[in-house]
Structure 1
Amino acid sequence: MATVLPGKQRRKGASNAAESAKRNVEQDMSNVERRNPNVSNVQRQAESPKASIAKTSLLHVPSSNVFQAHELRSLNFFLDKTIVQISSPFSQGLWSQAVPSIAQQESSIKHALMALSEFHEKFMSSTRSHHELGRSALKHYNVAIRGLLSTEKQKTSPVIGLLCCLLFFVVELLQGRLASAVQLFRAGRRIIHELERSALQAVQLESYHELFRVLKGAFIRAEYHVSAYFAKLHSDLSFEDCYGTGNTIDASSESINENCHPTTLAIFNSIPQALEELRRFTHNMVNKSYSHITNPQSDQQRLANWCAAFESLKQTMPNPHTIENKSKILGIEIWWRSVALHIHAVSESSHSSNPMWWDQHQAQLEDLLDYIEKSVLLHCGKHGDTGLNEKPSSPSFCLESGIVSHLIFVITRCRDPYVRRRALSLLKMYNRQEGLLQRELTIDFCQQMMDLEERGLEVKCAADIPAEARVMGTSMELHSEAPELEIKYLIGGEWITEVITWSSADD
């Protein structure tokens, strides 16, 4: 029988194929529709199997002529601030080129961009009135929805509907409407699924094939993040069903020249090249794990080869000590160490059933945390050895997994009390929301797990927490009727439940 912990209040600022997809998505988005009845209709319009509009390149530069004078400020904020935070090394072209370019041709994308920019500014600071920003952003959001549904847009490509889904997904995240965001993510998966398998695919994608490939990659990367914490996406639409097998490598990057069976290069000429090779290796490994085909020995050797090439690059690259290059190098150092730990985990089947398994990798977890700390201090503008404090940095947002996910990984795997608390301090300092991972929710989740495992014990080292006291599994479920998150912790065969509530734009 589950134990229910008291709820905690967290306050924060603010054709047959097409018809089948429409019915499924309407069911998935019922919760979104209650908050905004127009949102679910976005999917119906996106699934219309009509001819697409003129071809759009990813390489166009936004023209200020399309934007009215009062909109230029929001456009500039998007270009200067939002893109820097929201994009990853694998999605910069999508956010810096494709979205502004298509906004010049599609009114719905233009207003969705405006809404995203203004909600992001409201999320970040109070330089403008929150009420003024929220009202203007909501107006743009509603205009974007109506524009997509208008009779003038009957020939809108389903790929534009998919792009709208992604933009609306981010808008809902920035407003704290996590359940609505997940519903929109489900809708996007359905569009991808039907476009991939529809006989009309060639017609529907004729003008937007490259954009569709890049959007599919964005959803795949988001899928890794969403499913890691919120597993319930589609019981009848698995990862392979939605995206296909063997295509995840090609789709997960904006790079055109992909190889479905990448081999690690012996020499890297630049950071982007090293980063791209690590990405291809990582997604190849993840793709194999989804297919239950693993070869840890081969993966370990390939990662070792990659590390040797990366070390050579660091010794020869110009200007390695600039803030920008330091940040990039630290990000890669964190990433490959996390990959190495993942390889260790999949190489031993006992890791999932042995509560003490991660204790043997404490040194590697501490090493990973050292690099995370350097990255957080650099982000917070602390370039010297100034020590840790839990005063949060300025709020920021990113769409994909990053430092926050790595900190959660360390806290939930390492039972050493000093390492854990050091990681928790960094989590409190690093005031960033990564996708669905709101700062308050992640701090509460990690703190509660530590409290549950250490209750009644004097913990001085990892070994002081016995196997029966350790969390062996967690489950998170968003409630659709209210901004609530139900978290379950499995300890000693018993599920312990915590319900967390927070404020959203609806409150």
Structure 2
Amino acid sequence: MPRKAPSITHKRSRASKPKVTTGCLTCKVRRIKCDESKPHCNRCLRTGRNCDGYAPPLPRPTAITTQPTSTIAHLPSLSAVLISLPGTPSERHSFHFFLSHTAPQLRGLFESPFWSQHVLQACLREEAIWHAAVALGAVHGRFYAEGGEGGERQMWEGEGFAIKQYVKAISCLTRRGGGERRIDVALMACVLFTCFESLRGHHAPALVHLDNGVNLLLELQSLEKPRNLITQTYPPTPYTPLSALQALLTRLDTQATQLLPSRHTRLHPVSTPPTHYETFISLEEAQRASDELWNYCLYTLQPSYPSPYLHPQPQPSHDDLAHRQASYATALTTYLTTKPPRTAREQQAGHMLRLHTLVATLSLSTTSLPASEDVWDTHTPSFAAIVDLARRIIDLDTDVDIYAPETGRVGLDTGVLGPLYLTALRCRDPMVRREAVELLKKERRREGLWDSTLLAIVAERAVGIEEGGCKSELDTGRISDVDVVFDPEGCRAGVRFLLEGGRGSVEGHRGLVLTTDLPRGQNTY
């Protein structure tokens, strides 16, 4: 990924604060002074946060065992995990960061035992997952420190350490063959590798790892295989349920499909969403239902894509999809009205669900109309609501304890970046779309495969083309599609803007194509 262009960099000034070298783990993550009360910090208790206790001194390395365990067993507390850390001092330092910063941020606003328990359990028993987590913690630590003070940056080794750990993880996977191969370990590694390369700004290899995970899932999903063979392929006592890995990889695959129009989502929906929703019992249930419904709609509405793994199934009509989405929106409104948020985290999660519901409803309302950019012209109020909700979500980052806004936000949830990018590309109101671009430009944010810096550069270029910001006879055209092509060798991407109603054709589409290269750099950040 390219570095931020100087013209769109908005450097945030940061007040000097004393370093937090002692105190509870929660206050360390929030980068505030802890009162160090035992057994739990009073500062956390007063603000309604969970205090994670205090980390003991790092111990001597211990050997990694490879015996699998059932996910039914609960992990001990974070402090107890730290006591038995294996590895070198540098590995333990990076893994500690993974535990206290990376995993909570990747978990996001909604509870996920995958990040809070299952990955940590596998790290202590599987060398591949251990080294992958260390690599991810190391690269995230450097990302985090670049938004902090100079002393923090000096605490981290160069990128070479993270890459060595990454290579070790891959080597551990390739050494296990035949009957020793564990599908759950391979899928977990695909998720971690995708996160690692994405955070480095190397999206081409990130997509390779994602596709490897998708291919493994497709083999498990195959309707041509007997049910008992699928059961035998996935371990009877896995580190994490297959459903958790399916949800994570499907979310990443959906993000990639929305970012790259030439890409097709190949993961068949695991289940068919209900035709009618009553209400929800938790934010997590509402999120799972939202993901399931959106993935179902995206898979159904995309052009037919043959798969060797799946038998053809009857496709629902557009009206059927719109009915399901309307029913979900009503059920979500009922839940959020009857269960008002008690914390900033719940408030932010509620806004996020509203935002995604608004985007899904808007997308379905335009797909039923003739293919033309004019279909977006009547939806300015919806785009304005998207920007308003996104701003509220961003403003709450400071109050949600898993984020440190001044050092950047990292996560896997589909958050505000996709909706803001859609608004910048499709909204026809100059003020609304430029407000969306400005939010993208000032945020230092990574949401799965969505990168705020990349999206800001592409969106600003698109606005310039459509509104005549670039002096060219082509600039009066409307952009019907944007295709990003990542350089497999590093942090660089090419962008093609397909203009509606021009001369010529590209891949069967009428129109003129403008191409631009995003600037080369070591990393987006």
> Is this a same-fold pair by TM over 0.5?
yes
The CA distance in 2 between the partners of 1:506 and 1:285, in whole Å, is 32
Gaps of at least 5 residues in structure 2 are 7-65, 147-151, 305-314, 503-510
The CA distance in 1 between the partners of 2:102 and 2:110, in whole Å, is 16
Worse-matched range after superposition: 290-299 or 412-421: 290-299
Would you say the 8 A contact 2:138–2:156 is kept in 1? no
How far apart are residue 322 of structure 1 and its match? Answer: 2.6
The CA distance in 2 between the partners of 1:431 and 1:301, in whole Å, is 37
Would you say the 8 A contact 1:300–1:343 is kept in 2? yes
The CA distance in 1 between the partners of 2:237 and 2:408, in whole Å, is 35
Partner of 2:31: none
Partner of 1:194: 219
The match for 1:163 among 188, 192, 198 is: 188
Instruction: Output the amino acid matched with 1:104.
Output: L
Bigger relative CO (Cα 8 Å, ≥ 6 apart): 1
Partner of 2:451: 438
Deviations 1:238-260 (A, max 9, x none): 644xx3x452x4xxxxxxxxxx3
Would you say the 8 A contact 2:465–2:476 is kept in 1? no
Partner of 2:234: 205
Partner of 2:482: 474
Partner of 1:77: 97
How far apart are residue 291 of structure 1 and its match? Answer: 7.7
Deviations 1:46-99 (A, max 9, x none): xxxxxx964531653163354138355433422332123223567822222211
How far apart are residue 442 of structure 1 and its match? Answer: 1.2
Partner of 2:198: 173
Worse-matched range after superposition: 60-69 or 161-170: 60-69
How far apart are residue 208 of structure 1 and its match? Answer: 5.4
Deviations 1:394-417 (A, max 9, x none): 322223432111100111110211
The CA distance in 1 between the partners of 2:445 and 2:436, in whole Å, is 14
When the two chains are superposed, the root-mean-square deviation of aligned CA atoms in Å is 3.5
Would you say the 8 A contact 1:330–1:371 is kept in 2? yes
Aligned to 1:340, the other structure's residue is in SS state helix
The 1:490/1:263 distance shift into structure 2, 3 A limit, reads closer
The CA distance in 2 between the partners of 1:440 and 1:97, in whole Å, is 32
Partner of 1:225: 255
How far apart are residue 194 of structure 1 and its match? Answer: 3.5
The correspondence of residues 327-338 of structure 1 with structure 2, limited to 5 A, is 327-338=348-359
Q: Hey, which of these two has a bigger chunk of helix by percent?
A: 1
Partner of 2:419: 406
Partner of 1:310: 332
Partner of 2:114: 94
The CA distance in 2 between the partners of 1:315 and 1:431, in whole Å, is 32
Would you say the 8 A contact 1:74–1:114 is kept in 2? yes
Aligned to 1:502, the other structure's residue is in SS state coil
The CA distance in 1 between the partners of 2:475 and 2:372, in whole Å, is 8
The CA distance in 2 between the partners of 1:330 and 1:376, in whole Å, is 10
Would you say the 8 A contact 2:110–2:349 is kept in 1? no
Deviations 1:22-57 (A, max 9, x none): xxxxxxxxxxxxxxxxxxxxxxxxxxxxxx964531
The CA distance in 2 between the partners of 1:369 and 1:307, in whole Å, is 19
The CA distance in 1 between the partners of 2:523 and 2:468, in whole Å, is 36
TM-score by length of 2: 0.71
The CA distance in 2 between the partners of 1:90 and 1:415, in whole Å, is 33
The 1:266/1:104 distance shift into structure 2, 3 A limit, reads same
The 1:154/1:139 distance shift into structure 2, 3 A limit, reads farther
The CA distance in 2 between the partners of 1:173 and 1:154, in whole Å, is 31
The CA distance in 2 between the partners of 1:364 and 1:381, in whole Å, is 27
How many correspondences in the alignment? 425
How far apart are residue 303 of structure 1 and its match? Answer: 3.7
The 1:431/1:163 distance shift into structure 2, 3 A limit, reads same
Would you say the 8 A contact 2:469–2:475 is kept in 1? no
TM-score by length of 1: 0.74
Instruction: Output the amino acid matched with 2:236.
Output: S
2:294 is aligned with 1:282: yes
Deviations 1:254-303 (A, max 9, x none): xxxxxx34244334343333333333333333343248734344444444
How far apart are residue 132 of structure 1 and its match? Answer: 1.4
Would you say the 8 A contact 1:83–1:92 is kept in 2? no
Partner of 1:497: 515
The CA distance in 2 between the partners of 1:309 and 1:160, in whole Å, is 37
Would you say the 8 A contact 2:386–2:420 is kept in 1? no
Would you say the 8 A contact 2:464–2:470 is kept in 1? no
Deviations 1:323-357 (A, max 9, x none): 11211111111111111102201222x1xx32221
The 1:506/1:439 distance shift into structure 2, 3 A limit, reads closer
The 1:315/1:190 distance shift into structure 2, 3 A limit, reads closer
The 1:496/1:452 distance shift into structure 2, 3 A limit, reads same
2:278 is aligned with 1:266: yes
Would you say the 8 A contact 1:411–1:423 is kept in 2? yes
Deviations 1:399-453 (A, max 9, x none): 3432111100111110211111111111122210223333322111001001111
How far apart are residue 153 of structure 1 and its match? Answer: 9.5
The CA distance in 2 between the partners of 1:412 and 1:155, in whole Å, is 48
Would you say the 8 A contact 1:479–1:485 is kept in 2? yes
The CA distance in 2 between the partners of 1:341 and 1:419, in whole Å, is 16
Would you say the 8 A contact 1:410–1:423 is kept in 2? yes
Would you say the 8 A contact 1:393–1:429 is kept in 2? no
The CA distance in 1 between the partners of 2:175 and 2:441, in whole Å, is 45
The CA distance in 2 between the partners of 1:408 and 1:267, in whole Å, is 30
Would you say the 8 A contact 1:176–1:503 is kept in 2? no
Partner of 1:215: 245
Instruction: Output the amino acid matched with 1:359.
Output: D
The match for 1:295 among 317, 324, 330 is: 317
Gaps of at least 5 residues in structure 1 are 1-7, 13-51, 250-259, 383-391, 459-465
Deviations 1:168-194 (A, max 9, x none): 121111222222212222222233333
Aligned to 1:132, the other structure's residue is in SS state coil
Instruction: Output the amino acid matched with 1:106.
Output: E
The CA distance in 1 between the partners of 2:520 and 2:409, in whole Å, is 18
Worse-matched range after superposition: 442-451 or 84-93: 84-93
How far apart are residue 467 of structure 1 and its match? Answer: 11
